[in-house]
């Protein structure tokens, strides 16, 4: 089995690029980068009409001009412009490799500037030609929102190691930023808004579905039409990684945008570059099937004879309502003995304590002591705030219970949520994570029987300094800071050490097939198969030739369609008739949909059978391990097949495993430790679950 990732394979036709384009490089010393540099606007004025610019990498900026162009006059014209007095202006040439002896633009930089040209103006009038001047490709996906106060824009960039990335960036109208600035009393927020107003101004260009810089020729600044990069307080710009509920949502999802960009490259830039996604072969798969929190009997057994205490530190009607919600959730579904649920003024040792408090903002505003108290080895606590009472659901409370069970495990130093023995590991295995606050390392040593110990080794502890330093050196960069991508160390009983590193490479499902299927679902019924009579005949044919047995549900469907006679139906109304009579997930409904597709090319819905999901979404499901060499391997953790609806919120990031020094790769033995649903409720964890225990232990307080 192979899957694709967002790493691009690019073949350049350098000769064709040289034949059609001229590249100018600018370097500056006064600033480290070119972001927001107003002088780049001159490349789309009356004197210079660049096809694209690119300035995302350090002190260099590049402009690409379509030939024919007089290079000598172009360079002279730029150099005499006062805006470029302090900048070195040089012609450079396209090249595949940076090892080319002549001054060049090459590799990912060359690919990026070609990508940026996708949003260049296509006007037949030369004076209206422009590039987007953003240094990257900014695509406006929410066209319906062009007159709203903000736009969430897709920023498409190519990293130096050829990863094609889509990030969602929020742009707001100048008038909305000014309005918020006028209203806010938060000094920190005021400063953020003032800084935003200093950023470049952009306009929506519907001809290319992109943002472009506001230019002097556009006239006076209209604060209602000018967009500036600026977020909304407390609201993050985002888009689902993949949405396949309909074609519009597909194209607005990040994976759909990637797919669309590659399609545009094939259409508009095929003369210069040939682009495809990198493919990898999967070596090992572990199907995700552990569902501890989805089975009430398992959670009930974990709570058997366990005292649960509720401490109300507010004592008003809202807190009383919250107490009742907790009790109704617990009894009798998970706690069968009501006497095990208690209420007290203080938290109890050995109990699972729900502690009801106000939010941190409330205590700060009222100048009161915050009632939040961390868990300890004697008392485990989970805090609930009354502000969140409307958001309290069974799923939220189930998450709270599992958090308390993890804290109970930490207190007893015994794993109860995972059967460690099933891994059949010998000796002690160690997990090491960096403590950001203390700049040291926390270790969790797990024994074969599932018992464990924590060690927080301080460099001031001279007895353990050597052990601390040995692992610390494997977790820091040359500047003494934690390696940014490092998520932890795993040490086997034979002292083989593996690093876990997160990458920006993500797996991609079969986007071409998914797009084709969505379009098939969206197509109209064939002209000769749209009336009730026509469709009734198809169902009768299916029942006679394929199903070959009486079905009251089919007969009722046929009768309803016959009654409609010559009236035409669309797919939505046809689906409704079938769903009402046959159901959505019955055998007869499934067989009928397959028959209509194979015999009459009518696709009624997106297929979600096991085989279809595995074919389309292998790159987003289960645990996949691959690329193993003597020293390196990769893996990713996807979702559960049964949980697939019509979207994937997040992409699956590849994680790199590195065997350090003379160590062997031992990580594959730990793959089952990510087939759990108690780290991220209802989802599997992307790194071994012991790191969750380390994070919780780090937040424990001192027992008093």
Which tens digit of pLDDT belongs to each residue from 393-417?
788 888 899 999 999 999 999 999 9
Q: Residue 145: which pLDDT band, with cuts at 50, 70 and 90? A: very low
Give the burial string for 55-71 (b: 16+ CB within 10 Å, else e).
bbbebbbbbbbbeeeee
- Listed range (257-261, 386-390, 613-617) with the worst mean pLDDT: 386-390
Structure tokens at 135: 């240094």
**Average of pLDDT values for 445-459?**
88
Contact 14, 95 (CB under 8 A): yes
Q: Over 70: is that where the pLDDT of 658 sits?
A: yes
Q: How confident is the model at residue 489, as a pLDDT?
A: 97
Structure tokens at 690: 């012991």
**Average of pLDDT values for 669-684?**
89
Q: What percent of the chain has pLDDT over 70?
A: 89
Q: Over 50: is that where the pLDDT of 127 sits?
A: no
Distance CA 39, CA 57 (A): 17
Q: Residue 255: which pLDDT band, with cuts at 50, 70 and 90? A: very high
Distance CA 527, CA 448 (A): 67
**Average of pLDDT values for 589-602?**
93
- Listed range (73-77, 111-115, 241-245, 631-635) with the worst mean pLDDT: 73-77
- Listed range (101-105, 194-198, 579-583) with the worst mean pLDDT: 101-105
Output the average pLDDT for the chain: 88
Cis peptide leading into residue 2 (ω within 30°): no
Cα R_g (the chain), whole angstroms: 30
> Can you point out the beta strands (E) in 194-272?
202-205, 210-213, 227-229, 242-243
Structure tokens at 322: 């919250």
Within 10 angstroms of residue 19's Cβ, the number of other Cβ atoms is 11
Encode pLDDT of 53-73 as tens digits. Answer: 888 667 788 889 999 989 998
Q: How confident is the model at residue 16, as a pLDDT?
A: 97
Indicate the SS3 state at residue 675: coil
Distance CA 192, CA 141 (A): 26
Q: Which of 52-56, 128-132, 482-486 has the highest mean pLDDT?
A: 482-486
**Average of pLDDT values for 584-593?**
89
Q: Over 60: is that where the pLDDT of 134 sits?
A: yes
Q: How confident is the model at residue 125, as a pLDDT?
A: 47
């Amino acid at each position: 089995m192979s899957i694709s990732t967002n790493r691009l394979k690019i073949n350049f036709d350098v000769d064709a690029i040289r034949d059609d384009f001229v590249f100018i490089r600018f370097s500056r010393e006064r600033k480290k980068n070119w972001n927001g540099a107003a002088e780049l606007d001159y490349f789309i004025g009356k004197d210079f009409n660049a096809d694209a610019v690119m300035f995302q990498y350090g002190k260099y900026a590049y402009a690409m001009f379509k030939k024919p162009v007089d290079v000598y006059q172009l360079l002279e014209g730029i150099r005499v412009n006062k805006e470029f007095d302090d900048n070195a202006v040089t012609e450079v040439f396209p090249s595949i490799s940076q090892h080319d002896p002549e001054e060049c633009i090459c590799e990912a930089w060359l690919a990026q500037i070609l990508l940026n040209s996708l949003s260049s103006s296509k006007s037949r009038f030369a004076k209206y030609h422009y590039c987007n001047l953003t240094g990257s490709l900014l695509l406006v996906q929410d066209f319906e929102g062009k007159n709203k106060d903000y736009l969430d824009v897709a920023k498409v960039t190519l990293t130096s190691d050829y990863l094609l990335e889509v990030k969602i960036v929020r742009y707001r109208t100048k008038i909305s930023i000014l309005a918020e600035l006028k209203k806010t009393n938060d000094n920190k927020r005021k400063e953020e808004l003032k800084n935003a107003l200093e950023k470049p101004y952009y306009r929506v260009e519907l001809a290319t579905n992109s943002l472009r810089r506001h230019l002097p020729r556009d006239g006076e600044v209209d604060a209602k039409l000018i967009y500036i990069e600026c977020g909304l307080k407390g609201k993050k710009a985002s888009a689902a990684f993949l949405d396949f509920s309909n074609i519009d949502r597909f194209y607005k999802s990040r994976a759909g945008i990637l797919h669309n960009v590659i399609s545009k490259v094939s259409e508009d830039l095929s003369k210069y570059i040939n682009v495809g996604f990198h493919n990898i072969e999967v070596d090992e798969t572990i199907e995700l099937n552990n569902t501890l929190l989805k089975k009430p009997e398992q959670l009930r057994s974990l709570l058997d004879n366990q005292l649960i205490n509720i401490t109300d530190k507010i004592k008003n009607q809202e807190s009383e309502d919250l107490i009742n919600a907790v009790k109704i959730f617990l009894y009798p579904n998970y706690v069968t003995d009501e006497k095990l649920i208690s209420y007290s003024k203080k938290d109890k040792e050995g109990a699972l304590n729900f502690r009801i408090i106000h939010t941190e903002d409330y205590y700060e505003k009222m100048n009161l002591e915050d009632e939040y108290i961390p868990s300890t080895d004697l008392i485990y606590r989970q805090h609930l705030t009354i502000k969140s009472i409307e958001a309290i659901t069974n799923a939220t409370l189930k998450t709270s219970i599992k958090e308390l069970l993890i804290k109970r495990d930490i207190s007893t130093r015994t794993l109860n949520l995972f059967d460690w023995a099933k891994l059949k590991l010998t000796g002690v295995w160690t997990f090491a994570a960096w403590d950001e606050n203390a700049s040291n390392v926390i270790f969790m040593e797990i024994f074969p029987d599932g018992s464990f110990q924590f060690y927080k080794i301080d460099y001031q502890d001279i007895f353990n300094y050597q052990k601390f330093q040995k692992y610390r050196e494997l977790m820091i960069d040359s500047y003494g800071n934690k390696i940014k991508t490092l998520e932890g160390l795993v040490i086997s009983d034979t002292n083989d050490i593996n690093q876990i590193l997160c990458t920006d490479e993500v797996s991609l499902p079969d986007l071409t097939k998914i797009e084709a299927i969505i379009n098939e679902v969206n197509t109209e019924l064939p002209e000769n198969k749209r009336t009730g009579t026509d469709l009734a005949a198809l169902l009768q044919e299916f029942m006679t030739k394929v199903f070959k047995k009486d079905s009251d549900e089919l007969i009722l469907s046929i009768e309803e369609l016959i009654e409609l006679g010559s009236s035409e139906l669309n797919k939505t109304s046809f689906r409704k008739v079938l769903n009402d009579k046959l159901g959505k997930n019955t055998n007869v409904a499934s067989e009928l949909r397959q028959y209509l597709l194979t015999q009459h090319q009518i696709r009624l819905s997106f297929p979600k059978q096991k085989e279809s999901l595995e074919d389309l979404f292998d790159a987003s499901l289960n645990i996949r391990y691959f690329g193993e060499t003597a020293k390196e391997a990769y893996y990713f953790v996807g979702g559960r097949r049964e949980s697939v609806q019509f979207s994937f919120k997040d992409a699956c990031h590849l994680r790199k495993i590195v065997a350090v020094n003379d160590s062997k790769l031992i990580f594959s033995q730990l793959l089952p430790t990510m087939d759990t649903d108690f780290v991220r409720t209802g989802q599997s964890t992307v790194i071994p679950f012991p790191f969750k225990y380390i994070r919780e232990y780090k937040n424990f307080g001192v027992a008093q």
